[in-house]
Structure 1
Amino acid sequence: MLVVINRIWPEPGSERRLEEAFARAPAMKDVPGCLGFEFWRRQPAAPAGHPGQADPTAAAPDAGPTGEPRRAEYLVVTRWASREAFEAWRRSPHFQHAHRDPSASAGARSELVMYEVLRQA
């Protein structure tokens, strides 16, 4: 199994447009080899007292390295039966249709990462 994650940082002020574009996107359930699709929005910070919470004396967790506000972050998480299934989808008309309106992600930065699932419980 292959997990593909597209991290997206939209241009400030365009978050709603990105969310609406994903709400209108065609369903992935009929795409051959696609085992799952999720669209995530990052929450601001870990709750107080959570083991993963940052040092309270450090810069705010929602600030960038120079103190500027962080861009909102979204993850598009898909699970695939194989790398071949993912690549076939990227070459398909379904992919072209889903990505036909570039205005929803205008000015966004993104990073695509892939993980091979080695163990699943």
Structure 2
Amino acid sequence: MSTHRKQLGNFGERLAKEFLCRKGYTFIAAGMRSRFGEIDLLMKDRDLIVIVEVKLSTSEQFGRPEERVTWKKRQKLLRTWWSVRERVVKASRYRIDVVSILINSEAKTARVRHFQNIET
């Protein structure tokens, strides 16, 4: 992955974390890795663990960012969660959310959308 893409990804994750914290979520961890993949953000919403996939794009030319979270990606997130959960927090209740960020670099704005409990 290029340095620019990595920086953009890190920016998106920071933006998503701040967005969710303003909504009352509690930050647990970022970049949780296992042999199955990576969880961008792990948050807590009341008594529920929230696995957050962050999708950032600078254009909708190839679709909206949230449309890139496929069934296969959701399954990968679940496998990753089951392999790392004992390391972080012992909780059985969880959901998967997507934070979609569309950056307009000319206007220096970002549209952030939060999709809760996406289907698995």
Q: Report 1 or 2 for greater relative contact order, CA contacts < 8 Å, sequence distance ≥ 6.
A: 1
TM-score by length of 1: 0.31
Larger radius of gyration: 1
Bigger proportion of residues as helix: 2
* Structure with greater strand share of residues: 2
Q: TM-score, normalised by structure 2?
A: 0.31
